[in-house]
Homo-oligomer: A and B are copies of this chain.
């Protein structure tokens, strides 16, 4: 069993894992709903010491037959996740001598917790950083996702024709990514013209016109692992103003990556996520542009947004094995926006860009 979980089991007789990404991580099974509670994992302590702890996967019969083949390391309880904490858990905990349980307080709802706390002593556990340092196999999958993302970018910029709608670009991107045996890691954000000034623009039926910005933010998911990238291209002949903004964003990203490299090359240097954010943010402000209205980066893995968080208030420390985005942006309401986003992988003493799409200005 994972060392972090083992240590948590010193303080609790069992751990109730409820968050979907952690369930995927521990079982490799990605098919539970993102919006409904369909599964819990229950991991128990080895008692007496030396005897192996037990691992239960609590779900319902819509899934249990499939899971017997996939999650062999788990005993399946198939009477339903919510039914378990509402009804069966009391006797189960008694039988298994579980008196204290660790739970994910950032995931369990108040209503679920109110049932649990009546029958067992509870300890909040924090597994949010659990997956921040990636194993080799995880990095390989993220690389695969990035490669398909790069190919998708090459493909999609050839599809940008006068009159195409944002929505049609999304559909073409999805079809391309699906054809590679992968999924999108989130609904692609495609923003034409001044729509690009809204970082999370909702893709609509606006048609592409000449001399418009095209902001593309999309990701790929394969073997449960995500990529995430953004590029901003110009459909037509880019104005001096667009070029100045673009170069400022690119320079902000370059400076942030150079800063990471500099810190990593120092003996015993510590690298704070908030400092990477600061480098990019301050550069953009110094050039006279508005402060970035989102964080400069985020970890990527089973979730498309996960720790570490590169924001001004982040307490995260960057360590070897982490994968995260570096994505400064400038957004001018009424004019448009530019965002350039790449994923980087931190190895022992250097930073490696794992998305490779052209970062220079592209005029189509």
Contact = CB atoms under 8 A, between A and B. Distances in A.
Q: Is the interface of A mostly helix, strand, loop or mixed?
A: loop
Residue among A20, A63, A167 with the highest chain B CB neighbour number at 10 A: A63
B63 A200 contact: yes
Contacts of A29: 202
Contact of A62 (B124, B181, B294): B294
A294 B35 contact: no
Interface stretch (A106-114, A138-146, A345-353): A106-114
B294 A202 contact: no
Interface in A103-143: 103, 105-114, 124
B105 A198 contact: no
A31 B200 contact: yes
Given A34-B34, A179-B171, A202-B31, A109 B107 contact: yes
Contacts of A205: 181
Contact of A174 (B65, B110, B174): B174
A211 to B, nearest CB: 22
A303 interface: yes
Nearest first, the 10 A-B pairs at minimum CB distance are A61-B293, A105-B110, A62-B199, A62-B200, A31-B202, A171-B178, A105-B111, A106-B111, A66-B198, A110-B113
Given A105-B114, A171-B179, 11 more contacts: A31-B200, A60-B293, A63-B198, A66-B200, A106-B110, A108-B109, A109-B109, A110-B124, A111-B124, A171-B178, A174-B174
